[in-house]
Amino acid sequence: MTAASHVVLGLDPGSRVMGYAVVERLERGGFHYRECGTIAAPDRAPIAERLLELATGLREVIRDLGPTEAAMEDVFHQRNARSALVLGQARGATLLVVAERGLAVSSYPPATVKKTVCGNGRASKEQIQQMVTALARLKRPPATDAADALAVAICHCLHAATPPELLPTKRGAKPKGGRR
């Protein structure tokens, strides 16, 4: 790792399991895989205890792996209001830890992550696992939450190295700043 390197922490926050991935964003484009995994909290613990356990684990990951920036998926629509609230609490705790460490955070819609990594904005969890395994040259697929975090980190690396006019856009939308 060079002094000017960008070490990206990809995050997939949850209220019971948080996926994380750390990759080095290469200046010439692409990335170098470093690590991915999950941080788990006790299933039956109250939400406050679970969030504390997840935050403590995330602080350790940041301390040990030294990321310089972070990326996570935007919140998507939940059918269940309670699930959305709990996910929002987990995301808030995650953002707090990342902010404590002074890391800038980029967010990407789930469809953008899937399209960037798999070529399909509606890719399944299994497709994401297969693609990140191939892209990171892993011997076996990571756990689902770790694979999602790795997909976010890869997406961030690819978007950070790509001029805006070449990034995928919504069907029919024109890139900002381009000719109309």
Residue 73 designated active-site: yes
88, 89, 91, 92 alpha-carbon torsion, rounded to 10°: 110
Domains with residue ranges and CATH for the chain: 6-166 (3.30.420.10)
pLDDT digits (tens, 9 = 90+) for 109-149: 999 999 999 999 999 999 999 999 999 999 999 999 999 99
pTM for this one? Answer: 0.87
Say whether 43 is catalytic.
no
* Banded pLDDT at 29 (limits 50, 70, 90): confident
More confident site: 170 or 124: 124
Q: Does 82 or 14 have the greater pLDDT score? A: 14
Active-site residue, selected from the candidate residues 74, 145, 148, 165: 145
Catalytic residue among 73, 126, 148, 165: 73
**Does the structure show a pLDDT above 50 at 180?**
no
**Catalytic residue at 145?**
yes
Mention every residue, 6+ apart, whose C-beta is less than 8 A from residue 141: 129, 130, 132, 133, 147
Q: What is the pLDDT of residues 97-116, one digit of tens each?
A: 999 999 999 999 999 999 99
Catalytic one of 12, 35, 69, 165: 12
Residues, the chain, total? 180
